[in-house]
Amino acid sequence: MKRFHGSRLPSFLSHLSLLRLTSHLSLLTLFLLLCTPAVVFSQQRWERNYGGVGYDFGYSVQQTTDGGYIVAGYTQSFGNYYQVYLIRTNASGDTLWTRTYGGTSIEWGYSVQQTSDGGYIVTGGTTSFGNDEQVYLIKTNASGDTLWTRNYGGAVRDRGNSVQQTFDGGYIVVGNTNSFGSGYQVYLIKTDTDGDTLWTQTYGGVGSFGYSVQQTSDSGYIVAGNDSSLDVYLIKTNASGDTLWSKTYGGTSIEWGYSVQQTSDTGFIVAGGTTSFGNSDQVYLIKTNASGDTLWTRNYGGTGRERGNAVQQTSDGGYIVAGYAESFGNDFQVYLIKTNASGDTLWTGNYGGAGNDGGYSVQQTSDGGYIVAGRTESFGDSVQVYLIKTDANGSSGVEVSPSHESRVASYGVFPNPFVSFAYVPGREQERFALYDISGRKVGVYKGDRIGEGLSAGVYFLRPFGEYAKPIRIVKLR
């Protein structure tokens, strides 16, 4: 019997065999896809909390190149007081390593990004290296070991809230400064690859704050924050930090802008909060064109207090927003909103337990789901870092804990709003913790001098060491 080998096989038989093999492989592939959807289309879903017996917060999360996650925040559990806290996990949220950074005083970490060399860049604030609080920048290797640290600012209260590696390998940092003027201003710092300052800029009138920065496609920068009138403040600059335009957005009351991203149409999406539209504080989403002109705005939430702390455009052209909500339980919970390209709600999710929980950072993951970082008081004896991985529909695989009895505040604050300070009648000698509008604790006060020495803004007060519902207070100036 004559056999054909290799290239001597007649071409028509080669083509026939190839067609049959392709057909068989296609059928086999289809069979495997139909029979094993959990493998092919699986999306991880889980919730994790991290920390010790003190107060631990997670403010920023990013998926790393290996499919795991890096989380930045600060911790009271491992160090002298508060220190920058970095947590590295695998794709399932299991801890690979943790690191703390700081000196002998107080440090905070608010933003982290994986850098092109596989390491990490972190920004926040420090009171250990200077006369007062300064912007703190930390560069690590892939294992979290410190390569260098820098602090920036002057003599009075400066802080970094957002950092990004730039196209030239350096870094852009935005935050607040009280050192170069008569009050707080937006503070933008451009560094080289070693963290050495190339230039700095300040923006806005007295009482302006910068919370989020991103380099734009034209090599300039977009900054979101608040102006002195407590409106959302958007600043577009060139590559040198010179202002090309600035816009404010809001109504007749108070608005906050916490997160900004350039969108695929070269416009911008901004997330924050509003008290002007609705019966209470609500999540505020603003879509603009490339010139900052408003295309549409949306507000989301119920009758309680809601806030949007982070936004990202998703692969389908819509948006994912993370924050916290009081309307869908007896306390604050992590709040996730998925919208279409027009800002119309596709679904919402709330996550947490019996304590006060909040989300501060969100990113769409490589499997089409979402990763959210924040804080939780629901799991453990203290405040801990909270990390939630959901599928594309917002399910974390964990049912929300049943409703619990609300811990109603048994105290009042007078006057409210106030100018210099407020007090708590009948509880003047007790201690109260005060938090700013992003959930950061700004101090502990006795009940006879609440808010003394703070800048104008909205704060939340509750008895120190208790989980009672906070009372919202407003300092006018």
What are the pLDDT digits (tens) for 124-148? 999 998 778 999 999 999 999 999 9
CATH 1.10.760 fits 406-477, yes or no: no
3-state secondary structure the chain: CCCCCHHHCCHHHHHHHHHHHHHHHHHHHHHHHHHCHHHHCCCCCEEEEECCCCCEEEEEEEECCCCCEEEEEEECCCCCCCEEEEEEECCCCCEEEEEEECCCCCEEEEEEEECCCCCEEEEEEECCCCCCCEEEEEEECCCCCEEEEEEECCCCCEEEEEEEECCCCCEEEEEEECCCCCCCEEEEEEECCCCCEEEEEEECCCCCEEEEEEECCCCCEEEEEECCCCCEEEEEECCCCCEEEEEEECCCCCEEEEEEEECCCCCEEEEEEECCCCCCCEEEEEEECCCCCEEEEEEECCCCCEEEEEEEECCCCCEEEEEEECCCCCCCEEEEEEECCCCCEEEEEEECCCCCCEEEEEEECCCCCEEEEEEECCCCCCCEEEEEEECCCCCCCCCCCCCCCCCCCCCCCECCCECCCEECCCCCCCEEEEEECCCCEEEEEECCCECCCCCCEEEEEEECCCCCCCEEEEECC
pLDDT per residue rounded down to tens, the chain (477 residues): 323 233 333 333 334 343 343 444 344 444 433 443 333 347 899 999 999 988 999 999 999 999 999 999 999 998 778 999 999 999 999 999 999 999 989 999 999 999 999 999 999 999 998 778 999 999 999 999 999 999 999 988 999 999 999 999 999 999 999 999 889 999 999 999 999 999 999 999 999 999 999 999 999 999 999 999 999 999 999 999 999 999 999 999 999 999 999 999 999 999 999 999 877 899 999 999 999 999 999 999 988 899 999 999 999 999 999 999 998 876 899 999 999 999 999 999 999 988 899 999 999 999 999 999 999 998 877 899 999 999 999 999 886 543 333 344 557 888 988 888 898 887 888 888 887 766 667 888 888 889 888 888 888 887 765 545 577 788 887
What are the pLDDT digits (tens) for 340-354? 999 999 999 999 988
Report domain extents, the chain: 406-477
**pTM tops 0.85, yes or no:** no
